[in-house]
Amino acid sequence: GAGVSQTPSNKVTEKGKYVELRCDPISGHTALYWYRQSLGQGPEFLIYFQGTGAADDSGLPNDRFFAVRPEGSVSTLKIQRTERGDSAVYLCASSFSGPNEQFFGPGTRLTVL
């Protein structure tokens, strides 16, 4: 069956530009999570959705970062005025309600020049 998919797989942008990263969760999964992984680190939580609403956005580093999930399925992570420090792999995961086994997509590697 289809797993979590993320597009694009790679994104190179210039400092100051706006980017959107997309996540398609596993069909039927109600919870969707965004994480960011920097080199040599484990994934770090950014934001998570239950259905359409953001249940917890405490991991977003600042107000340049925003995410939506308007129909409770696909989610978009939006980063305004990108900075070089935003360069990382952005991971999306989804899960059913119940045991907290989250299934990850392949990630989007963002490079800000």
Q: Smallest distance from the beta carbon of 58 to another protein, in angstroms?
A: 9
The angle formed by the CA atoms of residues 7, 21 and 50, to the nearest 5 degrees, is: 105
Count the residues of the shown chain that bind another protein, applying the rule CB under 8 A.
30
| Site for another protein contains 43 (CB under 8 A) | yes
| Site for another protein contains 83 (CB under 8 A) | no
Q: How far apart are CA 16 and CA 5, in angstroms?
A: 27
| Site for another protein contains 77 (CB under 8 A) | no
Report the residue from 4, 19, 54, 112 that binds another protein according to the rule CB under 8 A: 4
Q: What is the DSSP string of 21-63?
A: EEEEPPTT--EEEEEEE-TTS--EEEEEEETTEEEE-TT--ST
Q: List the structure tokens of 41.
A: 């680190």
Report the residue from 20, 22, 59, 76 that binds another protein according to the rule CB under 8 A: 59
Residue numbers of the site for another protein (CB under 8 A)?
Answer: 4, 6, 30-31, 33, 35, 40-45, 48, 50, 56, 59, 91, 93, 95, 97-107
